Chain A
Amino acid sequence: NAGVTQTPKFRVLKTGQSMTLLCAQDMNHEYMYWYRQDPGMGLRLIHYSVGEGTTAKGEVPDGYNVSRLKKQNFLLGLESAAPSQTSVYFCASSSRQGHLWEQYFGPGTRLTVT
């Protein structure tokens, strides 16, 4: 039982490049989330999904897109990276059966945009 895994762990992009971050969970959770963590800002929700095939915007969605084609996977895309997107990105999941707020987090992806 790996929990929530994220790929890659580190990435450096040049401004304007694109990339996709992959999140996978093996807990059969319905809900999945993408957050970014910046110093002093805590974790801010980018996008989330309440089930396969559904996505919704969070607090800071601009510049990001997501897809949830399979229940266990949640992809975060950056179409044209900007230095302001330099951050640590966390994926999380939670079960509809339990408390939605008891979220299980992956180890994070550190992204640097130069």
Chain B
Amino acid sequence: DQQVKQNSPSLSVQEGRISILNCDYTNSMFDYFLWYKKYPAEGPTFLISISSIKDKNEDGRFTVFLNKSAKHLSLHIVPSQPGDSAVYFCAASSAGNMLTFGGGTRLMVKP
């Protein structure tokens, strides 16, 4: 059973608009959450993270929101740019243990 789920396999957004990528988890022991970005033929790269003691973390155009009661996190990209087109993976960790990844969401930003 997948402990981290990304229910939308793909998302299409117009350039300049907001992109919202969602992630749900089932393990209440997860205490650190991350987003990784992956371009074709490359490995994933770390994008942004959030600790379970926070509900928001912002880094430039990227903001991650955490709703612990709903076991849900989301990544907001504002404004979206064509270069943001990639696959985004949500990941979670408990007590510094290994990462558990979601299945990924392919974001396409149209010019």
Contacts and interface: CB of A to CB of B under 8 A. Distances in A.
B42 A107 contact: yes
Given A43-B89, A108-B41, A103 B102 contact: no
Contacts of B46: 102-104
B98 A48 contact: yes
Given A90-B43, A105-B43, A42 B4 contact: yes
Given A42-B104, A43-B89, A44-B101, A107 B41 contact: yes
A101 B45 contact: no
Interface residues of B, number: 23
Contacts of A104: 43, 46
B99 interface: yes
B103 A4 contact: no
A69 interface: no
B109 interface: no
B34 A106 contact: no
Contacts of A92: 43
B64 interface: no
Contacts, number: 54
A101 B91 contact: yes
Given A42-B89, A58-B98, A107-B42, A101 B103 contact: no
Interface string A68-105: 00000000000000000000001010000001111111
Nearest to B41: A107
Given A40-B103, A42-B4, A103-B99, A108 B49 contact: no
Contacts of B41: 107-108
12 contacts: A4-B43, A33-B98, A42-B102, A42-B104, A45-B99, A99-B49, A100-B96, A102-B49, A103-B46, A105-B44, A105-B45, A107-B41
Given A43-B89, A99-B32, 19 more contacts: A40-B103, A42-B2, A42-B89, A42-B104, A43-B99, A45-B98, A92-B43, A99-B49, A100-B93, A100-B96, A101-B32, A101-B93, A101-B96, A102-B46, A102-B49, A103-B46, A103-B99, A104-B46, A108-B43
